[in-house]
Structure 1
Amino acid sequence: MSKNSNKRIIVGLGNPGLKYNKTRHNVGYLFIDYMINNYQLSYKKKFNGLLFEANLEEENILFFKPLDYMNNSGDSISELIHYYKIDLSNLFIVHDDIDLGFCRIKVKNGGGNGGHNGLKSIDLHLKSNNYWRIRIGIGRPDNGIISNYVLSDFSNQEINNLTVLFEKIKKNIIHLFYQKIDIFLNKIK
């Protein structure tokens, strides 16, 4: 099976439905929504998700929002990867990270799933963890149950702060595609 090295896929993790729309766990969905709104992309419903295609900086990019619940998102992502014959080095998963301060960002390839059920599902279905993770910090609650915290809504001020972060990511995303991670991270500080 030959690889299609010309396409890159950016997947935003989240849970479908209005109930989860602005929750901390849906920061990946929120990022994809920001990108598609800025580029005025239309979607196709495919692979049990919403698929958007764009040419950014002369790169062919697929944006994807799985419509499975996050714990099962690996199934639709795996179908997408196999259909387009995408090398995992061109897969970027945007997800929430409770161990990072709010609006902090880290990028890494491979590694553990840190207890993130979306990543666990992806690892299981791809039989690999060798893909890029764009981890967006949502902070950790001072007290309380973590599951309640990650499913709580962002405040309006937090949404505004995320919008600023998303714009910086959008302007510098090309650096990720060429694995210039240090340049990318320095540009979005």
Structure 2
Amino acid sequence: MWQFLKNLFYKETNEVAPEDTMKKFLIVGLGNIGAEYQNTRHNIGFTVLDHFAKQENLSFETQKLGDIVYYKFKGRTFIMLKPSTYMNLSGKAVTYWMQKENVPLENVLVITDDLNLPFGALRLK
């Protein structure tokens, strides 16, 4: 799946613009904090980001409104966020990090469970 996401955001470019917002992506894994939610379907966003970070040997750091890790790949910066708010309040964390990092809405990917889909199914929209 990590390779799928890398390919999804990869686009050849010869332009060099260090603060180009089109080269920044915010990937948000939704879930609820607390041991009682670990390994539940509702925490799939946290689980997916933990898997990505482990694959790339990255460590999350606790910062304002969530745990964050930065990953640079092919000239792009991926900011992975696990909000420290509960699921229903995650918009506050997402908005904060979008504004702080100047990430446009079209460069935000939210990973969450959807009870309308069979377990293991993936939908991008």
- Class of the TM-score when normalised by the shorter of the 2 chains: 0.7 to 0.9
In structure 1, list runs of 5 or more residues that go unmatched. Answer: 109-189
Structure with greater helix percent: 1
Number of the residue aligned with 2:98: 81
Retained in 1: the 8 A contact 2:23–2:75? no
Retained in 2: the 8 A contact 1:3–1:86? no
For the pair 1:48 / 2:65, whether they are aligned, the reply is yes
Using the size of structure 1 for normalisation, the TM-score is 0.54
More off after superposition, 54-63 vs 91-100:
54-63
1:100-139 equivalences under 5 Å are 100-108=117-125
Provide the rounded CA distance (Å) in 2 between the counterparts of 1:3 and 1:85. Answer: 9
Compare relative contact order (CA 8 Å, sep 6+) and give the higher one, 1 or 2: 2
Q: Cα distance, 1:3 vs. partner?
A: 7.0
Provide the rounded CA distance (Å) in 1 between the counterparts of 2:75 and 2:100. Answer: 22
1:99-178 equivalences under 5 Å are 99-108=116-125
For residues 135-159 of structure 1, what are the alpha-carbon distances to aligned partners after superposition, in whole Å with 9 as ceiling and x for unaligned?
Answer: xxxxxxxxxxxxxxxxxxxxxxxxx
Number of the residue aligned with 2:79: 62
AA matched with 1:15: N
Provide the rounded CA distance (Å) in 2 between the counterparts of 1:40 and 1:80. Answer: 22
Q: Cα distance, 1:18 vs. partner?
A: 1.2
Percent identity (aligned): 30
Query: Which segments of structure 1 move beyond 6 Å, counting only runs of 4 or more?
Result: none
SS at structure 1 position matched to 2:53: helix
Q: Cα distance, 1:42 vs. partner?
A: 2.1
Q: Cα distance, 1:58 vs. partner?
A: 3.7
Number of the residue aligned with 1:94: 111
Retained in 2: the 8 A contact 1:20–1:26? yes
Number of the residue aligned with 2:49: 32
Q: Cα distance, 1:102 vs. partner?
A: 1.3
Number of aligned residue pairs: 107
Task: Give the superposed CA RMSD.
Answer: 1.6
Provide the rounded CA distance (Å) in 2 between the counterparts of 1:65 and 1:37. Answer: 14
